[in-house]
Amino acid sequence: MNYPTLYESLLLAAAAWRTWLLLAHDDLLDRPRSALPPAVRSWLECRYCAGFWVAAAWAGFWYLTDWTIVAAVPFALSSALILLDATVDHLTDSGE
């Protein structure tokens, strides 16, 4: 059985986090998310609940195709930009 390298694991983790964030909290999906029943919305917003299944999907795709890492890169880069922006905002707010 093959296992992802450390680099692939980090990319997959960042892609999974970004995918979960997109589904659960991003403004882009506010309207479809608001149409969901409250129990489903609550499950989707739980990083431990839906996050596990999003990560499992990325891992499953990694085992099925060689293109998963290529697909994960934009999501991982978006994760890095979100974290960098939050860090800069925090540092800027702390300095005032």
Residue 54 has pLDDT above 90, yes or no: yes
Task: Give tens-digit pLDDT for 61-95.
Answer: 999 998 999 999 999 999 999 999 999 999 998 76
Cα 29 to Cα 73: distance, rounded to the nearest angstrom = 21
Q: What is the mean pLDDT of residues 34-46?
A: 95
- One-letter amino acid at 48 equals Y
Cβ atoms < 10 Å from Cβ of 88: 10
Is-above-0.85 flag for pTM?
yes
Task: Give tens-digit pLDDT for 25-34.
Answer: 999 999 999 9
